[in-house]
Amino acid sequence: MKWFEPFVQTALELVAGLAAEGLAEPYVAPSTHDAPPVHLLVSPGAFDAGRVILVVSGVPEEAGVWSYTLLSQGRVEESSMRPYFAMARRRGWGVVALNPHHGRETEGEAREYWAGLDATLSALFRGERRPRVVCICFSAGGSLLFSYLVERDTLAEKLARVVLIDTAPPPVARREFGPGTTALLGRSVLFGQTAEGRTMSPMARASSAVLGLAPVAVRASLHGELPGLLIGEVEEILRSEEHPRMT
């Protein structure tokens, strides 16, 4: 048995609670390229919303929670994605969270994340639709998103902004990014954990070096605490996207 399996049931119970509140529901999307179906956690009507949060979280968590480490300490509410879904509904945003670890069927390899991104972005930008999409990437999520965009630069042009929360760096150099992704980085923000010694986390330092972003320090004792601590900052970013300045 994998170490995290006891926490999967807790995550599924949280998702059931979100569904009972009408905040979110599991969703199975058809995949592209004849791959298996894609599992997501979505707010009702997310694919028809004009503004959408796209969550790309880490490994090996089931969508619905940010951190199995917090769950191991009994800190269920701090790990739950519920505050993000509730905040998004209050502001009129849809939410789509990738769920590559659903049912423990996969280790969440890059191809599962990329299949989820293919299916989600195809649905969001179908036809003439151009919703305002803000990506929230936590932990491994930042590495996986920017690795995905290396060969899909035109998709980067459609994204409004990326919020990186203590993310791992993509295994590429910045010079490998196309103009759309480079411009997207100019609209992105990187938050990094600082511990008691005020030293920035190794992941945030590495992402800063690769992506060319100056990290914003967030004091936290655990990596998994950051999404919960940053919901106010994320809401401010969403507010700015609701009324973007004219250029």
Q: pLDDT tens-digit profile of 197-215?
A: 678 999 999 999 999 999 9
Q: What is the pLDDT, as a whole number, of residue 111?
A: 86
Name the percent of the chain in helix, strand, coil, to the closest 5. Answer: 45, 20, 35
pLDDT in tens, 63-111: 999 999 999 999 999 999 999 999 999 999 999 999 998 865 555 578 8
Does residue 154 lie within any of the structural domains?
A: yes
Does residue 197 lie within any of the structural domains?
A: yes
Residue 119 belongs to a domain with what CATH number?
A: 3.40.50.1820
Q: Above pLDDT 70, what percent of the chain?
A: 93
Residues 6 or more apart in contact with residue 246 via CB below 8 angstroms: none
Does residue 144 lie within any of the structural domains?
A: yes
- Asked whether 26 and 41 are in contact (CB, 8 A), the reply is yes
From CA 206, how far away is CA 19, in angstroms rounded? 37
From CA 229, how far away is CA 86, in angstroms rounded? 15
Pick from 170, 174, 213, 171: nearest CA to 192: 213
- Asked whether 180 and 157 are in contact (CB, 8 A), the reply is yes
Q: Residue 103, SS3?
A: helix
Does residue 101 lie within any of the structural domains?
A: yes
| H or E stretch covering 194 | strand 189-194
Does residue 247 lie within any of the structural domains?
A: no
- For the chain, 247 residues long, the average pLDDT of each consecutive 10-residue run is 84 97 94 77 98 96 96 97 98 97 67 92 95 98 96 96 97 94 97 86 96 96 97 97 69
Give the predicted TM-score (pTM) of the model.
0.94
Does residue 195 lie within any of the structural domains?
A: yes
Does residue 167 lie within any of the structural domains?
A: yes
How many structural domains comprise the chain?
1
Containing structural domain, residue 127: 5-242
